[in-house]
């Protein structure tokens, strides 16, 4: 009985604000009850997922509208954000997602962690990295006293 009474109300509210705990509190329903319904009824779970997607799109629209209003008001941060995310010429460089774009020869088979404990060690480490960039990895350094090897 309770499910029939609250299900439609819950799903309608969820399609406006996709946060189940917020909606449950708003309509006076226990979160545990909703998640029990979800586990027991695959049809309800599908409806809940659909309502959450609709709610997310609704909130995204509201956020975009707010951003557009800020751009129209001349807010420099909003303008930079919009251009960075919507105009290729203004986009700042982003790191390549190594894990999703890795070719087989770029896969990591292992890694090392080096702990640099002093400023002098950090400076020496940076010198070695620059040296290896300039002359390659195969060149041996005269000073092998540095505690970190095989960069």
Residues 6+ apart with CB under 8 A from 39: 45
Q: What is the pTM of this model?
A: 0.54
The torsion angles phi and psi of 6, rounded to 5 degrees, stand at -100, -20
Q: Determine the straight-line distance between the first and last CA of the chain, rounded to whole angstroms.
A: 67
Is 62 in contact with 17 (CB distance < 8 Å)? no
Residue-level pLDDT at 119? 81
d(CA 26, CA 31): 11
Q: Encode the chain (151 residues) as per-residue pLDDT tens digits.
A: 577 888 999 999 999 999 999 999 999 999 999 999 999 999 999 999 999 999 999 999 999 999 999 999 999 999 988 888 887 777 777 666 655 555 555 565 666 666 777 888 788 888 877 877 777 766 565 554 544 444 4
Residue-level pLDDT at 147? 47
Residue-level pLDDT at 139? 59
């Amino acid at each position: 009985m309770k499910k029939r009474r609250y299900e439609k109300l819950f799903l309608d509210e969820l399609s406006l604000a996709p946060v189940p705990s917020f909606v449950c509190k708003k309509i006076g329903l226990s979160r545990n009850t909703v998640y029990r319904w979800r586990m027991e009824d695959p049809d309800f779970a599908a409806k809940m997922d659909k309502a959450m997607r609709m709610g997310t799109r609704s909130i995204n629209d509201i956020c975009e509208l707010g951003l557009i209003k800020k751009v129209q008001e001349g807010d420099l941060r909003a303008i930079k954000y919009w251009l960075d995310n919507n105009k290729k010429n203004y986009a700042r460089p982003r790191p390549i997602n190594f894990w999703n774009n890795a070719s087989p020869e770029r896969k990591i088979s292992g890694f090392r962690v080096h702990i640099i404990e002093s400023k002098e060690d950090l400076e020496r480490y940076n010198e070695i990295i620059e040296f290896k960039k300039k002359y390659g990895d195969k060149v041996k350094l005269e000073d092998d006293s540095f505690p970190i090897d095989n960069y």
